[in-house]
Amino acid sequence: MDQLSEERRKAQFDVDDMKIVWAGSRHNFEVSDRMAKLVASDPAFRKDTRTMLARKELFKNTLRKAAYAWKRIVELRLSEEEASKLRFYVDEPAFTDLHWGMFVPAIKGQGTEEQQQKWLPLAYKMKIIGCYAQTELGHGSNVQGLETTATFDHQTDEFVIHSPTLTSSKWWPGGLGKASTHAVVYARLITDDQDQGIHGFIVQLRNLEDHLPLPGITVGDIGMKFGNGAYNTMDNGVLRFDHVRIPRSHMLMRVLQVTREGKCTQSDVPRQLVYGTMVYVRQAIVADASCALSRAVCIATRYSAVRRQFGSQNGGPETQVIDYKTQQNRLFPLLASAYAFRFVGEWLNWLYTDVTQRLQANDFSTLPEAHACTAGLKSLTTTATADGIEECRKLCGGHGYLCSSGLPELFAVYVPACTYEGDNTVLLLQVARFLIKTVSQLGSGKKPVGTISYMGRVEHLMQCRSDTQRAEDWLKPSAIVEAFEARATRMSVACAQKLSKFSNPEEGFAELSADLVEAAVAHCQLIVVSKFIEKLLQEIPGKGVKQQLEALCNIYALFLLHKYQGDFLATGCITPKQASLANDQLRSLYSQVRPNAIALVDAFNHTDHFLGSILGCYDGNVYPKLYEAAWKDPLNDSVVPDGYHEYIRPLLKQELRTARL
């Protein structure tokens, strides 16, 4: 019995067509759909008891799933694309993520042809398991501060890998603690007492026969992390080296070589290649953000339609929570954000191809812009997603606090994205540096390109005034884009002007960093808004699909305009009256989206398995399922709890004085 069928009937667009738009293409949709269903229909991949498992059981179960997934991938002869999707839908962080996502790419990107030929076949068959050991106990964001050393020994033609201090212990690498046999270790290369900077080395950690750590290696798990289940399925590790020797050939030498004589020589491979990888990783993070946010929004939207509270008239049913404007005002902008991040992620995918092609042609001209743009979008989308998941949890009221809602685990497993691959505030400061540099070059005739090209119209943007006069005027893409461009330009220029008053620019940058971060956010929001609008310039087939996306695009933009109205007003881009009109328009957009809300989250095509949420189940049969799930908690194994005889009974019987506690 589908409790939400009435809601589904209300939709004014074709959900199947929207599913294709969301997936990016019919091909993407079909592969995803097939892999999602393969996982969902196989009991071996069940995850509904995950949040109740103690650490050891949990980890052992992950090892089982990872092995089983690999077995199925081999049996079904899945393509690389399919295999990667299958792992994605297993939806459980595991050592294989790092093996495939970091270890293999590191060898591909930084290893010589010879090294690739040696190591990749082993890795592809999983005859070895690898991880990526960069961060240290005392060193996260600042890679140049790493302390682990790799000292070249002329006599033996080896590197000696060593952890000279406690803070140099490798700390955090996923898969390192218990599963990996090998690691790409980042260490400070030292030849003839000369510090040659940080480089990667392939180090075997464990014996391939009995999995015991090799001599000189101390390795273990770093302990429990945030949340039930969540990242505790992963063996994030600690690793110390006591003068561990590896052959010289184990240094990844695509860019820098160390010869038998210990001399360092640069290859002609451009160092900028590393930026291609960075763009790739960040576009993947943005895609993940839209997916994670879509899961939370799907759960909260469905449950908001099921849940009723207050407003009963004449003994009738109470009001569906989704009909309250306060609920819509918190939920629908997140729904719109999920779509917005999806499309900006799609565009980043294009950017990756573009950057790669240019790098191959030795064209480095777009790199600074691509770097700033991906850094900013990684920061913006992950922050908004982490906050959005928690907001969705709150929108589910008390029941959102139950693990069976799926939201606590989704939050706990997602939040590290705000910190890894560049702390979100550090990244925004990098964007700000790029903005300030761009402003400083505006007079020089150097034209800003790509996402920053709007600054080429700085004169117009510094003095333009929005001409919106009625609420509907805010539906015009040109009105929105100009307001966002003017705001971003003016905030950057204002920062640049303030900076110019400092005699020491670095001191000025440090002093004004909070303002600079705000300017960076304004620039990044503009990118997301613009890319959404550009998407809508494309032909989008399907009954009513484009209309829905237009409404969501407007909600995304006008919600930001309201939330950040301080920026728009302080810079004089819009008047208080215009801000108020935008808000009026936003309210009426909510009414427009309301009947389509359930269909808009159905378009994500999430299986009940993938969602892992009783509140978000497709059929909306929330209460019977919550009730049944409760009884599966280990605490309900017995009616009288463990500990009754030792602790409750002596309390009630006033016999505590003699009880052993």
Q: Which residues are annotated as a binding site for FAD?
A: 135, 174
Per CB under 8 A, which of residues 252..311 are in contact with a second copy?
A: 308-310
Question: Which pair of structure tokens corresponds to residue 460?
Answer: 């117009």
57 to 76: interface string for a second copy, x by CB under 8 A: x-xx--xx-xxx-xx--xx-
Number of residues counted as binding a second copy (CB under 8 A): 143
User: What would the x/- binding string for a second copy be over residues 463 to 502, using CB under 8 A?
Assistant: ----------------------------------------
**Beta strands 237-241 and 217-221, pairing class:** antiparallel
Q: Which residues are annotated as a binding site?
A: 135, 174
In whole angstroms, how close is the CB of 331 to a second copy at the nearest point?
12
Residues 80-119 that bind a second copy (CB under 8 A): none
Q: Which is nearer to a second copy, 112 or 578 (CB)?
A: 578
- Each residue 514-533 as x (binds a second copy by CB under 8 A) or -, in order, gives xx-x----------------
Structure token pair of residue 105: 């790419």
Cβ at position 541, least distance to a second copy in Å: 34
Residue from 512, 528, 529, 615 in contact with a second copy (CB under 8 A): 512
**Nearest CB to a second copy, comparing residues 106 and 179:** 179
First to last CA, the chain: 51
Task: Report 165-224 residues binding a second copy (CB under 8 A).
Answer: 166-167, 169, 172, 177-179, 181, 208, 210-213, 219-224
- Which position has the token pair 């953000």? 289
Q: How many residues does the chain have?
A: 661
Angle at 415 between CA 138 and CA 386, to 5 degrees: 140
Q: How far is the CB of 510 from a second copy (least distance, A)?
A: 6
402 lies in the binding site for a second copy (CB under 8 A): yes
Neighbours of 555 (CB within 10 A): 25
Dist CA 432 CA 496 (whole Å): 10
Angle at 579 between CA 513 and CA 458, to 5 degrees: 50
List binders of a second copy among 576-635 (CB under 8 A): 576, 579-580, 583, 587, 623-624, 626-627, 629-635
Q: Which of residues 138-157 bind a second copy (CB under 8 A)?
A: 138-142, 145
Residue 310 burial by Cβ neighbours in a 10 Å radius (0-12, 13-18, 19+): exposed
Judging by DSSP bridges, how do beta strands 149-153 and 182-191 pair with one another? Answer: parallel
Q: Tell me, yes or no, if 421 is annotated catalytic.
A: yes
- Is 416 a binding residue for a second copy by CB under 8 A? The answer is yes
251-259, 397-405, 447-455, 531-539 -> range binding a second copy (CB under 8 A) = 397-405
The nearest distance, CB 464 to a second copy, in angstroms, is: 16
| Residue 227 in the binding site for a second copy (CB under 8 A) | yes
Residue type, 48: D
646 binds a second copy (CB under 8 A): yes
Q: In which region does residue 593 sit, left (phi positive, over 0), alpha (psi from -120 to 50) or beta (all else)?
A: alpha
Tell whether residue 654 is a contact of a second copy (CB under 8 A). Answer: yes
Out of 3, 249, 257, 329, which residue is the one contacting a second copy (CB under 8 A)?
A: 329
State the nearest-atom distance from the C-beta of 310 to a second copy, in Å.
Answer: 5
The sheet carrying 170-171 orders its strands as: 170-171, 237-241, 217-221
Tell me which H or E stretch contains 463: helix 458-463
Q: Which is nearer to a second copy, 420 or 618 (CB)?
A: 420
| Residue in 57, 80, 114, 421 annotated catalytic | 421
C-beta of 351 vs 617, nearer to a second copy: 617
Alpha-carbon radius of gyration of the chain? 27
Decide if residue 412 touches a second copy (CB under 8 A). yes
Which residues lie closer than 8 Å to 323 by C-beta, 6 or more apart? Answer: 594
Query: What letters, b where the CB count within 10 A reaches 16 and e where it falls short, cover 629-657?
Result: eeeeeeeeeeeeeeeeeeeeebeeeeeee
Degrees, nearest 5: CA angle 450-442-359: 35
DSSP, res 147: -
Q: Which residue has the tokens 């280990």?
A: 634
Q: For a second copy, give the closer residue by CB, 83 or 351.
A: 83
The residues annotated as belonging to the active site are 421
